[in-house]
Structure 1
């Protein structure tokens, strides 16, 4: 189990992470989402003891990461697929890790095969690996110690569609066998396919968290009008906040009846009025991280 309580990280006067709290239960995949600069990587680095927090705590199985004895046997971490010695072969990278963790080196070829790196790839030096191959090697390092927890930051970067599908199955199987997975990714459709719970962060703060199905069912109402400009005016007059979608609609944090009455009173012709949840995780993400949170993330 991963427990994050009131984590805060400030660089001078800038709050990179601001009072973030959430937990990841065994047997689940938790999707950790947010725009660039929102604080995802900083949060994950604090969980793994790489960045000291300004305030708050993070524990894995009830213990801070730095106090875990032989942490690789408890937590598999992949934060940067390029953080590997470029002059070593894939097999050498894993063999050294196995010796460090006290893992039988006979597990090395099995683990390489598990992540789709064959004998030829195992003999190749990391500098010759593609990004996708480095991601697979990084995942092999994370899995080598047979941990109960995986913390993965953008593990699907560089993978082709087949590789992404494979990773989804691997993570789902890991969780179904009782493991805990914290997964950060920009591939929202893949997160939607594999995650049980979601934590959405924007501007260093948690803007939503909970069961995936419940969050997707509560993302507001999608409305589309024959006259988009008139719709904007109607919503403003009614005091309703809206977020524009890429296909000309507006997601409003209000019920369909309220929006429909406001449109009818103004004589506005609506083309669509439905729950926005049917737009999936992508629509929810855009709705929750629009506005102030995104502006703060890119300052």
Structure 2
């Protein structure tokens, strides 16, 4: 389990205090994949760095498996971290990168080749210098490194970046299998459809604050409807007259269920051209939730 409790981080910039993360609290449960989402500059990377002991919080605390990251003995044996796939020695081969870490973690050397095979790096690729790797190969090596200590938890920032469609599907299956075996996965990604496909829970932040969190199914099952018609103003008036809330967000978004929308449209003699649940998947939930929180000028 991974827990953030009232995490806050402020920086001094040009003589003034800038808040990158403010009072962020959430829990990533064992046996589940938790998607950690937000626009660029929302504070995701700063939060992950605080969880992993790389950035000191101004306030609040974080624990991994019940302890602060820095208090974990041989932390790589407990939590696998991938925050920057490019942060690997460019002059070493892929196999050497893992072999050095295996010695430091006191992991059997045989696990290196087993993991290279598991993440799909061929013997020729494993023998190549890391400086020659593509972005996708960096990601595979980074994930192998995160898995090297056979950890109980994974903290991953954009692990599918640079992977082709087959690689993205492979990544999804690997993370799903890790969680199903009892592991904890905290996953930050901009690939919303992939997060929707694998995440059991979601935490969405913007402007350094938590905007929404909960089970994926519950968050995507928001009541109400999104509707388009040949006369949206008339339909909006009919829905409001029936006591339903209505707002414009590319289409009419209303608290009315589909059946009530149909009745209002029939009564107003308005032709409906599109009608669907208010939250049309994770992408719609993300943009609706973060609409007021664009890219923030704070450390990411």
TM-score (norm 2): 0.89
Measured in 1, the distance between the counterparts of 2:20 and 2:261 equals 36
1:39–1:204 Cα contact (<8 Å) kept:
yes
Distance in 2 of aligned mates of 1:105 and 1:219: 53
Q: Secondary structure of 1:297's match? A: coil
* 1:165 matched residue in structure 2: 169
State the shift of 1:264 in Å: 7.5
Q: Following the alignment from structure 1 to structure 2, what is the Cα–Cα distance between the partners of residues 160 and 263?
A: 45
Aligned to 1:287: 288
Question: Residue 235 of structure 1 contacts residue 241 of structure 1 at CA under 8 Å; is this kept in 2?
Answer: no
User: Deviation at 1:297?
Assistant: 2.9
CA distance in 2, matches of 1:177, 1:255: 41
Query: Are 1:175 and 2:179 an aligned pair?
Result: yes
2:249 to 229, 243, 249: 243
Out of 72, 88, 93, the residue aligned to residue 89 of structure 1 is: 93
Q: Where does residue 25 of structure 1 map in the other structure?
A: 29
TM-score (norm. length: structure 1): 0.89
1:7 aligns with: 7
Cα distance between partner residues in 2 of 1:141 and 1:7? 27
1:233, CA displacement in angstroms? 8.7
Pick one of 272, 275, 278 that aligns with 1:273: 275
Residues 197-240 of structure 1, C-alpha deviations (whole Å, 9 max, x = no match): 11111111111111111110016421212245777899999874
How far apart in 1 are the matches of 2:204 and 2:120?
Answer: 31
1:168–1:239 distance in 2 versus 1, CA, 3 Å: closer
Alpha carbon RMSD of aligned pairs, Å? Answer: 2.4
- Is the Cα–Cα contact under 8 Å of residues 77 and 151 in structure 2 kept in the other structure? yes
Determine the C-alpha separation between the residues in 2 that align with 1:15 and 1:265: 51
Is 136-145 or 205-214 further displaced after alignment? 205-214
Whether the 8 Å contact between 1:219 and 1:287 is mirrored in structure 2 is no
Asked if structure 1 preserves the Cα contact closer than 8 Å seen for 2:235 and 2:268, the reply is no
Q: How far is the alpha carbon of 1:251 from its aligned partner? A: 3.6
Pick which of 228-237 and 168-177 moved more: 228-237
The residue aligned with 2:213 is: 209
C-alpha separation between the residues in 1 aligned to 2:56 and 2:120? 35
| Change in 2 beyond 3 A, CA 1:51/1:265 | farther
1:129 has 2:128 as partner? no
Alignment of 1:34-49 (within 5 A): 34-49=38-53
- Distance in 1 between residues matched to 2:278 and 2:66, nearest whole Å: 38
| Separation in 2, partners of 1:94, 1:219 | 48
Q: CA deviation at 1:259?
A: 6.4
Q: Is structure 2 residue 245 aligned with structure 1 residue 222?
A: no
The aligned counterpart of 1:140 is 144
* Cα gap change, 1:175 to 1:239, in 2 (>3 Å): closer
- Structure 1 residue runs without a partner (length 5+): none
String of CA shifts for 1:180-205, please: whole Å, max 9, x gaps. Answer: 00001111111111111111111111
Q: 1:128 to 1:231 in 2, by over 3 A?
A: farther
State the distance in 1 between where 2:145 and 2:182 align: 20
Note closer, same or farther for the CA distance 1:122–1:74 as it changes in structure 2 (3 Å cut). same
TM-aligned CA distance change 1:230 to 1:134, over 3 Å: farther
